[in-house]
Structure 1
């Protein structure tokens, strides 16, 4: 039975690949239709996660999405994004336009984000090992983590650290300080994990509140910011409930049974990467966006999504809707706190 099920899944995967090959993604970058923004239109065969991959590419290129119209009902995915650069201008840089077309257009059977780890060139990723850390936030914690790694002859190539509600999640990209390559010695990696868990626990006796893991080589690791969302969502319930600096967020999740959907409305102050955070959460909680409207042209952002769960259709129960509401609210608020980035010998602190 298992072998039969495996063959069935393989047949489905091959069919999806065939559909994509027969209907390759089409991307159009339009600078004529809107006076204030560039329109990026993406049409492709629909598959789970397509919306997140497109938003991820635009976000990694540091573009601001002012409006978006999403439709993926049926076998086809059709989206229109109104985007501007970091200065609020339309896109006239030919290199940026080429990157959009190459990342989202024909020839890319699976969309790829442009950045995996902070501040590191793609060609250096193969040699890096990724360490995942989750624990209680406290003053001096990051310095202690870096000191342990330095003492263990680990060179810190880059890291990204998020903190929210008294909790910390971090991705640290390291190489062997002597060879410059990845760290493959399992005994050494086990020692790294053991000592880092000790540092993360500090004086706390709650061993479950700290976690250190060796994820993968950077070239094979998930998108960094998506992974940080996943780590912090998995850690929900360990926080101190009240960081005090979170932005006011209104998230409404309603049953729309007559249309076979769950309706999600999000209203909050606009900020960079807001759409990535909400779509990332919906995707990782296994919801599919069938229709959506995003408006973020002033100080406030409005997002409306008609969704269904990947397995069970609409989120039918009150418990499911409340879990989804809390997940979206947390994803929006955690980016609103300060994020710490360390990249190859430099330390910068900035707010998202």
Structure 2
């Protein structure tokens, strides 16, 4: 069976390569057509999933899509994206422009990359996927287990939504700095992490997957939380109805389309989150219009299921609405944003999250990265009891970790000039101006 499936995939690849050679993609990047944005036009043969791949390339470059027009009816795919960099300027970096051309042009192979999600193997790290019930201190417990098992976390992303938590972690062996390959050790890692995820809550399942697969982390997190049914509404008390995205689905009977409209607060990666979810739910986008030039984003999609039918029932319509709401809300992090930058070492994540836990802070979202021996981590934290984060708690944590190492973003301190502290003084708890952190409320990140 495996041989026949592999043969079928090879035949599909050859056919798609032939189609691509006959109809090579055309990418035009124009910095003159629009006053405030770079215009990117992509024309190619239409393939299922190609829209997500194009949006994923733009998202991975941290480009902001301010407008988009999408049409893929019939055998041809035509998209126009107005994009800016994170500062709202046109994209002028030649390396970025060249990367877009190579990634979206004739050299790219969208269909193969779609099938390779979760299939490519890596010898550099071991991938660990975790899904379970969220609770205070969960990230601390997970990272402590990995440290005890002589594993170093080189990158990780953690999302929480509707009382559920999901994470994709990349770890290496402490001694070799490479992927963990011993089967018994991998089984032990999986067993202990699964026990941590289960905790005392047996009402919803915990899931742990250990592999050497290379995946697109954010897309995988969407898939994991979707599979975990985080879209089933739980009243967490954090978002009221006015703050939730407004999603509507109606059928256009004359054209056999379902029309999806979404109004929400604009934020980076919003388009990716929406298109990713529609694709993973096996809907095909035939036409779309995106307008996100102001604080509010408006998205309109004309879709059909992969079987060619529009939304067939009210139950299906409600499920589409719930899943799109969840996709948008997952990246909206309630909490105080903390950024940590220091020399990487084994056990760093465990130590930092333990300090958070000991000070009654829970992590609602986290991004952990290692670049050239430096740990660059972002945490969104809130008080485990649901109260506003206490400035004294932040003061105590920064005194332990170091003021120049751990910084609070979005606070008055960020914009105030000041003399640079000695790293030694920071490590041993130099004082900081607590008045800068008075009356902290929960802030909402849309990044």
Give the equivalent residue in structure 2 for 1:201: 198
CA shift for structure 1 position 228: 0.3
Change beyond 3 A, Cα 1:302–1:203:
same
Change beyond 3 A, Cα 1:271–1:4:
closer
Aligned: 1:165 with 2:191:
no
Give the equivalent residue in structure 1 for 2:311: 315
- 1:212 aligned counterpart, secondary structure: strand
CA deviation profile, 1:181-236 (whole Å, cap 9, x unmatched): 21122211111111111111222233x4311111x32xx42210000011111112
Give the equivalent residue in structure 2 for 1:341: 367
CA deviation profile, 1:305-352 (whole Å, cap 9, x unmatched): 101111242122222222111111110111112521122344322522
Change beyond 3 A, Cα 1:240–1:187:
farther
Give the equivalent residue in structure 1 for 2:270: 274
* Structure-2-length-normalised TM-score: 0.71
Distance 1:187 1:11 in 2: 37
Give the equivalent residue in structure 2 for 1:40: 40
Change beyond 3 A, Cα 1:205–1:320:
closer
Give the equivalent residue in structure 2 for 1:120: none
2:254 to 234, 254, 258: 258
* Residues matched between the structures, number: 339
Contact 1:25 1:42 (8 Å CA) reproduced: yes
CA shift for structure 1 position 303: 0.5
Distance 2:266 2:286 in 1: 23
Distance 1:5 1:194 in 2: 31
1:106-117 aligned at under 5 Å gives the runs 106-110=106-110
Distance 1:240 1:86 in 2: 32
CA shift for structure 1 position 11: 4.8
Change beyond 3 A, Cα 1:245–1:6:
same
Give the equivalent residue in structure 2 for 1:180: 177
- Worse-superposed segment, 183-192 or 272-281: 183-192
Distance 2:258 2:368 in 1: 40
1:1-352 aligned at under 5 Å gives the runs 11-110=11-110, 126-206=123-203, 208-214=204-210, 216-217=211-212, 220-236=213-229, 241-246=234-239, 247-338=243-334, 339-344=365-370, 345-350=375-380, 351=445, 352=447
CA shift for structure 1 position 153: 1.2
- 1:209 aligned counterpart, secondary structure: coil
Contact 1:46 1:77 (8 Å CA) reproduced: yes
Distance 2:8 2:94 in 1: 44
Change beyond 3 A, Cα 1:5–1:142:
closer
Distance 2:85 2:231 in 1: 38
CA shift for structure 1 position 109: 2.1
CA shift for structure 1 position 20: 1.0
Structure 2, unpaired ranges of 5+? 335-364, 381-444
CA shift for structure 1 position 160: 0.4
Structure 1, unpaired ranges of 5+? 117-123
CA shift for structure 1 position 100: 0.9
* Structure-1-length-normalised TM-score: 0.90
Contact 1:166 1:239 (8 Å CA) reproduced: no
Distance 2:238 2:205 in 1: 22
Higher Rg of the two aligned structures: 2
- 2:146 aligned counterpart, secondary structure: helix
Change beyond 3 A, Cα 1:240–1:85:
same
Change beyond 3 A, Cα 1:282–1:237:
closer
- Worse-superposed segment, 255-264 or 13-22: 13-22
Contact 1:166 1:240 (8 Å CA) reproduced: no
Distance 2:206 2:232 in 1: 12
RMSD (Å) for aligned C-alpha atoms: 2.5
- 2:95 aligned counterpart, secondary structure: helix
Distance 1:297 1:48 in 2: 28
- Worse-superposed segment, 63-72 or 95-104: 95-104
